[in-house]
Structure 1
Amino acid sequence: MYDIMYIPDEYGSVKSEVGLKLSDSAMKSYFKENSSGKWEMQIPDDSIGRQSHRWPIGFITSGCVQGSKKLSAEGFCEAVLLSHLREEQWKEMLLKQRRSEIYVLVRNLKSVAYRLALASIVLEYQENDIEFL
């Protein structure tokens, strides 16, 4: 998310050059604006808050189609954080069990319930990236 610039529109929503839209309340729950006007990740101050904090690594921009046989969604994620998450997951697995996909938790911004999902880093599939997109 570091390379996405957020620009407020006339309705108070925040959007990026690539079409990402967030309400002001959602934006302020994840990010804070510093004195230079740039947004940075909001990290809890207390130790308990830091231990239980779920780091947002991205945003889903298009969800699954209900009733579809092939469930998939697209989003923007920080690739470095996704790869670190995969490394953490691989530490607990045998070599044969390792997958290129990463287990992530996703939720609707208005919900508190998380669902398990699989994420892939498209940049790792450079040979097939045009086919994938």
Structure 2
Amino acid sequence: SSVKSEVGLKLSDSAMKSYFKENSSGKWEMQIPDDSIGRQSHRWPIGFITSGCVQGSKKLSAEGFCEAVLLSHLREEQWKEMLLKQRRSEIYVLVRNLKSVAYRLALASIVLEYQENDIEFL
């Protein structure tokens, strides 16, 4: 079975419970490790990939929903370590399949920054 949010994202029950926990009031909240070592190495999910490739596209790409503010903060953190001419608008992110523990490096873009091209991009 799966849980469906208002925007149409579907997650299996096991995936939902690996990221979130239900509190006594019935609301779901992010599951954060209790121990200090677990909290230090915890990778906060900032979004979900909804399809592995964009239909009709010749480029390898994926679509997903992410928190734009968190993506922007992540890019700022990455830019601190780079020279000005090396900076890109794309953000390096780690992605993984829900059934896997292995992460892969990927590039993310904030579509809202490409307002004139956002319809074409989608």
Q: When the two structures are superposed, what TM-score results if normalisation uses the length of structure 2?
A: 0.90
- Distance, in Å, in 2 between the alignment partners of 1:59 and 1:65 is 15
Q: Relative to structure 2, which stretch is displaced further, 16-25 or 75-84?
A: 16-25
How much has 1:19 moved relative to structure 2?
A: 2.4
Quote the residue 1:3 is aligned against. none
- Distance, in Å, in 1 between the alignment partners of 2:34 and 2:103 is 24
Quote the residue 1:80 is aligned against. 69
How much has 1:125 moved relative to structure 2?
A: 1.3
- Structure 1 residues 79 and 65, CA, compared in 2 at 3 Å: closer, same or farther? closer
Report 1:1-133 matches (<5 A): 12-64=1-53, 69-133=58-122
How much has 1:38 moved relative to structure 2?
A: 2.1
Q: Relative to structure 2, which stretch is displaced further, 56-65 or 115-124?
A: 56-65
- Structure 1 residues 130 and 65, CA, compared in 2 at 3 Å: closer, same or farther? closer
- Distance, in Å, in 1 between the alignment partners of 2:54 and 2:40 is 35
CA displacement, residues 23-46 of structure 1 (integer Å, 9 cap, x when unaligned): 111111111122332222111111
Aligned length: 122
| Matched-pair identity in % | 99
Partners of 2:96 and 2:104 within 8 A in 1: yes
Gaps of 5+ in 2: none
Q: Relative to structure 2, which stretch is displaced further, 20-29 or 58-67?
A: 58-67
How much has 1:131 moved relative to structure 2?
A: 2.0
Gaps of 5+ in 1: 1-11
Partners of 2:49 and 2:62 within 8 A in 1: yes
CA displacement, residues 78-99 of structure 1 (integer Å, 9 cap, x when unaligned): 1111111111101100111111
Partners of 2:23 and 2:29 within 8 A in 1: yes
CA displacement, residues 42-72 of structure 1 (integer Å, 9 cap, x when unaligned): 1111110011111111110000379975100
Q: When the two structures are superposed, what TM-score results if normalisation uses the length of structure 1?
A: 0.83
- Structure with greater helix share of residues: 2
- Distance, in Å, in 1 between the alignment partners of 2:15 and 2:90 is 27
